[in-house]
Structure 1
Amino acid sequence: MVGETKGNIIRPKQPYFVMTTSHYYKAVIMNYGISHFYCFQKEDIIERPFIAVPDGCIDILFCCDDKVPYAHICGTVLRPTLTHNSENKYFFGVRFLPGSPFKFKNITMSDLVEQEIPFLEVIKDNELFEKVTSSRDFNYQIQVFLERYIKLYANFNEINKYKDLKKYMLNNIMKTAGKVKINELAEATGYSVRYINKTFSEEFGLSPKVFCKLMRFQYLLSTLNELDKDIFESNLAQISMDLGYYDQSHMIKDFHEFTDTTPKMYIKSLKESEYKKRIIII
């Protein structure tokens, strides 16, 4: 299986966040609906644009600025999008897993797609906001966030009537790198295609078709991050087949749609930016 997974759950990537920083710190959680925490400082000496790519995830991003701190709940983008390009700002972020079981009060998942909503409008917790944005201690920020969040997560997870169906659908999408068909999910669960579509849209904010397309792209990103240009080019046909693309041109077209570049140029950017040296796992 291609892609970086743990228990068939994808670890979503935002590679341009890493490329625009001198150091990108990451703490992998893979629990409570959270993929990982991260922090970084946007450097003014690095001229690469700060671009978000589609990942099917929700992030909470805190700008820990002494003068004007802020925080946003950010839904997935559906195309490469320039975002938070402030220079010399320290950011702390929480990236939820694709299809995270946690929901925010008074907003639906579809409300967040390609949107950023002020954190305090949704989660009215000034104390949490102030503790996170007034610190530059990554471990402390993680601890403070988890102390508040885990209680909310436990309460919500107990009352989610779609929990089992959602988990089944998500696991099948991850196991197949997004290649599963909606009628296969319907047949396996005993629900109608219409019900599956309705439930999926409510729980994920996207149609099954779009979500699967984003997961396939994220699997491709994970694969490219581990390859050099020569290996990629010699295995192009196999990679496209493994991920369920019709052919190589289909894979390249989809990749360009979500990154504004080609897989070959993306691998070149990884090498030029020394991507793996910038990312620090703690």
Structure 2
Amino acid sequence: MQQRAKYLELLPEEELRPLIKCFWISVNDSGADCHFTTLPDGCPELIVTYRDGMLHNVMLAGILTEAYELLMPGNELKLGIRLMPIGKEYYLNRCPTLERFGAFTTSLSGDMVRDLRLFSNHVTADIRSIVPVESIDKRKLILFELLQQTSGNIHVEILAEHCCWSSRQINRYFNMQMGMPLKSYSNILKCYASYKEIKAGRLNPDLGYYDQSHFIREIRKHTGTTPKMLLKNEAQRYLQFNSPENSDDR
């Protein structure tokens, strides 16, 4: 039987949820390599990696547009921050160096819950020292709140009306800040929202797709496979189709 890494998520405090989707930790203590596929979810990630108990690297992963194959070697531990795009803009882009996140993990205990909470507490305090609430553009807060609420199923004209920002300005912002058009980002959110439906065995589109063919085509575009294959999730290959353990809310 193929070995699986242990995985745990922790939600941020309420005030940080426009910036952070969740904190997470993954541990492969089996001694054998684990292979995964991660799928687009509309979030950049900051990842701190330890191998054999030693800090290996700190890296920033951008927003995926298609499936990405992952190898997690034996005796590896990862701590991560799954960011909302506005979190990268207002937090990470203001950090002088990403190496600071390695310093937030120097007292790992081997207890996943304790280590994840300690990491999230360090990051939370760091965000509060770097990102004054008043510094965040309210138009962007409204923009991403609406995109999340609708899973990308919203016209740019409606976004512009609610954000008091022109359609042209919104599209320019997405191209400059995230390297993709608003439409592409919205399609990723729509695809991500479908994962929950697929996991429940509901393979008929009800998320803004024109028909079954359009649904299958878009899922294949972003995941590299069909909804039926995602539902099967052979060998627990697809990370988003594996149910993570969740630490208790704060």
Contact 2:23–2:80 (Cα < 8 Å) also in 1: yes
Q: Give identity over the alignment, percent.
A: 20
Within 5 Å, give how 1:51-200 maps onto structure 2. 51-65=37-51, 66-67=53-54, 69-100=56-87, 102-105=90-93, 122-125=97-100, 128-129=103-104, 131=106, 134-154=108-128, 155-158=130-133, 160-162=135-137, 164-200=138-174
Contact 1:60–1:94 (Cα < 8 Å) also in 2: yes
Within 5 Å, give how 1:263-282 maps onto structure 2. 263-269=227-233, 273=236, 279-282=244-247
- TM (normalized to structure 2)? 0.78
Read off the aligned partner of 1:193 and give its amino acid letter. S
- State the 1:243 CA deviation: 0.9
Read off the aligned partner of 2:146 and give its amino acid letter. N
Name the CA distance, whole Å, in 1 between partners of 2:3 and 2:141: 34
- State the 1:27 CA deviation: 2.1
Read off the aligned partner of 2:245 and give its amino acid letter. I
Residue aligning to 1:25: 8
Residue aligning to 1:6: none
Name the CA distance, whole Å, in 2 between partners of 1:20 and 1:203: 38
RMSD: 3.2
Name the CA distance, whole Å, in 1 between partners of 2:168 and 2:42: 21
- State the 1:44 CA deviation: 6.3
Read off the aligned partner of 2:48 and give its amino acid letter. F
SS of 1:79's equivalent in the other structure is coil
Residue aligning to 2:226: 262
Q: Which moved more, 1:215-224 or 1:38-47?
A: 38-47
Cα distance per residue 1:231-276 (max 9 Å; x no partner): x25xx1xxx2x31111111111111112111101111116x64998
Cα distance per residue 1:166-209 (max 9 Å; x no partner): 11111221222211111222233343222122234455553211
- State the 1:126 CA deviation: 7.1
Read off the aligned partner of 2:246 and give its amino acid letter. I
1:253 aligns with 2:217: yes
- State the 1:73 CA deviation: 1.7
Contact 1:52–1:81 (Cα < 8 Å) also in 2: yes
Cα distance per residue 1:72-97 (max 9 Å; x no partner): 12112211112344234222222123
Contact 2:48–2:101 (Cα < 8 Å) also in 1: no
Cα 1:63/1:184, change in 2 over 3 Å: same
- TM (normalized to structure 1)? 0.70
Contact 1:102–1:153 (Cα < 8 Å) also in 2: no
5+ residue gaps in structure 1?
A: 1-18, 108-120
